[in-house]
Amino acid sequence: MKIIVIYGTNSGGTYLAAQIISEALTGLGHQVTIKNATEADHHELQNYDLVVMGSNTWNFSKEEGLPHEEIRKFLNKISYNNVPLENKNFAVYGLGDSSYMYFCGSVDVLEKFLSERQVKLVIPSLRIDGFYFRQAENTEKIRQWTENLGKLGVVGELGEDG
Ligand SMILES: Cc1cc2nc3c(=O)[nH]c(=O)nc-3n(C[C@H](O)[C@H](O)[C@H](O)COP(=O)(O)O)c2cc1C
């Protein structure tokens, strides 16, 4: 499959997670592109069999539990341009910290945005708690999630070219 991983990060963890995901998917024979949300173009989504979106959770203007600003801008561009997403394959992952009130709130926001556009997630979303505090354990968790994600295409659930 052709896969794009679009991420938003402040301290780099969500980018490192994107790299782990990319390496694991590449190892399973997929063709993977990683893009920061700042450089991702909403028009190019149609070029991929699977879109993986990843965001940290932050607060902005006193509002807590939100996706990264660039991810929110990207979602706004999709809405503004009415980019059709129905029947597109998406997966979502988020980095957060369970000491905050809205743990991985970005995942909830992304899931809501996608479900409102009739997108079905191909796998339950991944929520990573305290990435840098338990990096080895979290890296393994990300790898396992990605293995499941990557295998979906192999058994033909996502498309024909696996
Ligand atoms: C100002 C601030 C606000 C945050 N708000 C939340 C939050 O509401 N929910 C959550 O789960 N994590 C929250 N976090 C934790 C970050 O999402 C977490 O540290 C994440 O791993 C950062 O990812 P990054 O390295 O990609 O930026 C917050 C962190 C900071 C510094």
Cβ proximity of 12 and 137 under 8 Å: no
pLDDT recorded at residue 64 = 95
Q: Would the CB of 7 count as within 6 Å of ligand 1?
A: no
Q: Would the CB of 24 count as within 6 Å of ligand 1?
A: no
**Number of other CB atoms surrounding residue 125 within 10 Å:** 20
C-alpha of residue 158 to centroid of ligand 1, in Å: 31
pLDDT recorded at residue 153 = 62
Q: Would the CB of 103 count as within 6 Å of ligand 1?
A: yes
Q: Which atom of ligand 1 is nearest to the CA of 105?
A: 9
- How many angstroms separate the CA atoms of 18 and 34, rounded? 7
**Number of other CB atoms surrounding residue 133 within 10 Å:** 9
pLDDT band at 151 (very low <50, low <70, confident <90, very high): confident
In the chain, where are the structural domains located? Answer: 2-154
Name the residue with the closest Cα to ligand 1, atom 8. 65
pLDDT digits (tens, 9 = 90+) for 55-88: 999 999 889 999 999 999 999 999 999 999 988 9
Residue 154 scores a pLDDT above 60 = no
- Using alpha carbons, select from 72, 65, 62 the residue that is nearest to residue 37: 72
Q: Would the CB of 8 count as within 6 Å of ligand 1?
A: no
Q: Would the CB of 65 count as within 6 Å of ligand 1?
A: yes
Token code pair at residue 144: 């396992």
Q: Would the CB of 13 count as within 6 Å of ligand 1?
A: yes
User: Domain 2-154 is in which class?
Assistant: alpha beta
DSSP-assigned beta bridge partners for residue 90: 51, 121
Query: 56-92 burial, b for 16+ CB within 10 Å, e for fewer?
Result: bbbeeeeeebbbbebbbebbeebeeeeeebeebbbbb
Residue 140 phi, psi (nearest 5): -65, -40
